[in-house]
Structure 1
Amino acid sequence: MKSLEELYNRALELKNKGMSDKEISTELHLSVNTITWLLSKDLKGNKISDTKIGWRSIGVYGNRIEKIAEIMADIISEELPLDEITSILGITINGIPYATMLSDLLEKELIVYRPHPSGQEGMFSSNFASVKSKKIVIIDDVMSTGETMKRTIDDIRKKGGEAVLCIVLVSKLSSDEINNVPVRSLIRATMVG
């Protein structure tokens, strides 16, 4: 049996690698509620401030996802000339619906990327467009620590592509760039006080 401190440290390590509470719960064989509770406190029992982002009200209907994708498309066209973009990449699982809609709206190729849960090199789905020699806009739902986005950018570069912009529904980070790639979010969630 692991001590609470060992569980906390392992859960925190996985969280810092970009894993969700659900992925961590699977990895550590604990309930999602236990992981959420564990990560909401430090080892001295002090509450750690964080913001949980839920967007189920948007996600239950395709037309709502499409409206958000239209806003994302507007932001993309504000940031870059559309002829400088070849592909839209969706990070599994929550970035894929937005990326799919954007691919259609902007008439660009669709790339699907699955980050590796332990931080190793992720996988680009062979059922969709390839990465090599492409100028890619990366789409995800929530950016918490930025680790998933960093790994995505690194993996794109390893495969010979170029990440030109990252768009997320919500960012918990204050930075407007990650790995020298601009980041735009529809909403920025910041802790105050």
Structure 2
Amino acid sequence: MKDIEDLIEKAVELQSNGLITAQIADELNVSRETVTWLLTRSKKEEKTPAPKDISVNWSSIGKSAKRLHNISLALCDMVFETMEKANAEVDVVVGIAANGIPLASMMAYELDADLAIYHRKGQGVVHTGHRGTISRNFGSVAGKNCIIVDDVITTGSTSMEVIEQLREMDAKPRVIAVLVDKKGVDTIYNVPIQSLVKIARLD
């Protein structure tokens, strides 16, 4: 996407296809606040200041299984480094739906670990609580060392949800592995973050 107008057009298109704000944010790799701003701006003539955010487009990686595999190897290397310091083994790789699943699948294979999937609330899965859920169709996390995998950390709220959910299930979240960290912190709920790219705003 070349500019703001492209982002606005894509956000409006995704909304017209029935996606909610959180899903549009996931698809565009921006914050929910930015999606609200994009959708509001598409309907108004007045120009309100844009939220401080950065759009991440990693489609050049996502469209190629070979590139995804190579990126997953780099993330596995970073995970190994963290796990060695904790003197722990990887039991389960938890992919955050939808964008974290391809990387998590490849990482689980490389790490010889089980694969679990976390569905966010509002992604077509029936939920009883305010958060998402760990799918029952994949690996069990109870009592196991877990690696959390996603594409981008924007605010960290999804990672917080997953960590809380895992701890409630007596799992041990050990590291969060992502392509891009837009939040710019070292840990979330005392779980270290390993990212290929960390973005820091200087304003």
TM-score, structure 2 as length reference: 0.74
Aligned residue number for residue 27 of structure 1: none
The reply to whether residue 51 of structure 1 matches residue 61 of structure 2 is no
Question: Cα distance, 1:39 vs. partner?
Answer: 7.9
CA distance change for structure 1 residues 22 and 48 in 2, over 3 Å: closer, same or farther?
closer
**Structure 2 residue aligned with 1:107, among 107, 112, 117?**
112
Runs of 4+ in 1 over 6 A off after TM superposition: none
Aligned residue number for residue 180 of structure 1: 190
Structure 2 counterpart of 1:65, one-letter code: L
Structure 1 counterpart of 2:69, one-letter code: E
Question: Cα distance, 1:182 vs. partner?
Answer: 0.6
Query: Do the aligned residues in 2 keep the contact of 1:50 with 1:191 (CA within 8 Å)?
Result: no
Match of 2:94, SS state, is strand
Q: Counterparts of 1:130 and 1:80 in 2: how far apart (Å)? A: 20
Match of 1:84, SS state, is coil
Question: Cα distance, 1:38 vs. partner?
Answer: 3.4
Identity among equivalent pairs (%): 31
Q: Counterparts of 1:174 and 1:23 in 2: how far apart (Å)? A: 18
Q: Counterparts of 1:156 and 1:172 in 2: how far apart (Å)? A: 23
Query: Do the aligned residues in 2 keep the contact of 1:21 with 1:35 (CA within 8 Å)?
Result: no
Query: Do the aligned residues in 2 keep the contact of 1:21 with 1:36 (CA within 8 Å)?
Result: no
Aligned residue number for residue 28 of structure 1: none
CA distance change for structure 1 residues 50 and 121 in 2, over 3 Å: closer, same or farther?
closer
Aligned residue number for residue 81 of structure 2: 78
**Structure 1 residue aligned with 2:138, among 128, 134, 148?**
128
Question: Cα distance, 1:174 vs. partner?
Answer: 1.8
TM-score, structure 1 as length reference: 0.77
**Structure 2 residue aligned with 1:66, among 62, 66, 69?**
69
**What's the Cα RMSD here?**
2.8
Aligned residue number for residue 7 of structure 1: none
Match of 2:103, SS state, is helix
CA distance change for structure 1 residues 110 and 23 in 2, over 3 Å: closer, same or farther?
closer
Aligned residue number for residue 168 of structure 2: 158
Question: Cα distance, 1:128 vs. partner?
Answer: 0.7
Match of 2:52, SS state, is coil
Structure 2 counterpart of 1:184, one-letter code: Q
Structure 2 counterpart of 1:38, one-letter code: T
Aligned residues: 168
Q: Counterparts of 1:181 and 1:94 in 2: how far apart (Å)? A: 20
Aligned residue number for residue 99 of structure 2: 94
Query: Do the aligned residues in 1 keep the contact of 2:120 with 2:133 (CA within 8 Å)?
Result: yes
Moved more, 97-106 or 115-124: 115-124
1:35-87 per-residue CA deviation (whole Å, 9 max, x = no partner) reads: 525389xx982232210011000000111100000000110111113852211
Query: Do the aligned residues in 1 keep the contact of 2:90 with 2:147 (CA within 8 Å)?
Result: yes
Match of 2:155, SS state, is coil
Match of 1:113, SS state, is strand
